[in-house]
Amino acid sequence: MPYRIRPRHAFAKEIRRIATSQLEKAVEILEQQPSGIHEAVHEARKKFKRVRGLYRLVARERGDFRRIENARLRDTARALSAVRDAGALVETVSQLEARCKTEGESQAVAATLQALRDRRDRIAAAETGLSSKVATAIEESRQAIDAINSLELEDAPRDAARYLKKAWTKTLAGAHEALDGCHHLADPEKFHELRKSAQTYWMCLSLLRDIWPSAIRAKRTEAKALVDALGHAHDISILATVLDEEPGLLGDEELSHLLSLIIRWQQEIRQSALDMADRVFADEPKVEARVIAKLWVLASKNES
């Protein structure tokens, strides 16, 4: 079933359906591993992230549930992340190849790719107990399914609208705060916070796309482009951190060329992302939250 809340159906049942569907898919992927264990881990982590996005949208008045279940899925995903994160660095540097302007930069990127592939392989070889971690993730997913099936939420359209209004306001307020910080500071942490807010916003729009399909489709497209841009900026920051913490990966000349390229690309991406974010988060949080709540009530009545 799709990752969307259908207004014409019982609200609490929809939340349980979506969470259960995503978690069951994670279990299936981790058990069957159709494209190998590392790809299975990557796909399962995406399912966990979607469920966490769902909980942010609807469970703010169920603080204990949200805190416990968010931590469960966050920690489960984190335990599976080492090799996948190392592979993501290789993908990031691969994107730098098309942005090289000098022979020195091209040579630095080629050397970095090889160094990071070797690093990824070393991490994969050294990682012990991955199968055990996968088994734990499967068990935690099943416990998360039990937990969501015990969550009580009101079904009345106005009660559901109240959940959505509160969560929407909180999500957008966080995005506005992060965006303001990004405009005034070149702090990677502020961009990371903006990225997380944009991801949550995109998932919220996906979940509520049925309340005004045409308008939300446009918002989702803009939000997804922002998430992708901020994701690239985040990946570049992680790459810079790894190069700083592991100086033996590259020679001094190669590192100098690569850092020059990284800085240039990061500045371009950040400026583009800020321009997009200004458009995506142009409306006041409380105003947009009220609109969403009213649209939910209308959609529930029209489809009931």
More confidently predicted of 133 and 84: 133
- What does the pLDDT read at residue 302? 66
- Which H or E run includes 189? helix 188-207
User: How many whole angstroms separate alpha carbon 32 and alpha carbon 21?
Assistant: 16
Least confident window among 10-19, 59-68, 114-123, 281-290: 59-68
Question: Above 50 in pLDDT, residue 94?
Answer: yes
The answer to whether 59 touches 66, Cβ cutoff 8 Å, is yes
Per-residue pLDDT, averaged over 138-149, amounts to 95
pLDDT for 216: 94
pLDDT per position as a tens digit, 246-261? 988 899 999 999 999 9
Q: Give the whole-angstrom CA distance, residue 6 versus residue 22.
A: 16
pLDDT reading at 1 higher than 60: no
Number of H helices, E strands in the chain: 11, 0
Average pLDDT value for the chain? 90
pLDDT greater than 60 at residue 262: yes
pLDDT of 109 above 80: yes
Closest CA to 281 of 169, 172, 174: 172
Give 304's pLDDT tier (boundaries 50, 70, 90).
very low
Count other Cβ atoms within 10 Å, centred on residue 278: 12
Q: How far apart are CA 84 and CA 130, in angstroms?
A: 12
pLDDT band at 61 (very low <50, low <70, confident <90, very high): low
Max Cα distance, the chain (Å):
67
User: In the Cβ-directed half-sphere of 103, how many Cα atoms lie within 13 Å?
Assistant: 0
197-234: pLDDT as tens digits: 999 999 999 999 999 999 999 999 999 999 999 998 88
State the pLDDT at residue 128. Answer: 74
Segment among 40-54, 58-72, 95-109 with least mean pLDDT = 58-72
Between 12-26, 50-64, 143-157, 281-295, the lowest mean confidence (pLDDT) is in: 50-64
Nearest to 269 by CA among 116, 99, 102: 99
- % of the chain with per-residue pLDDT over 70: 97
The better pLDDT of the pair 261, 124 is held by: 261
Phi/psi at 154 (5° precision): -75, 145
Six token digits for residue 303: 């489809």
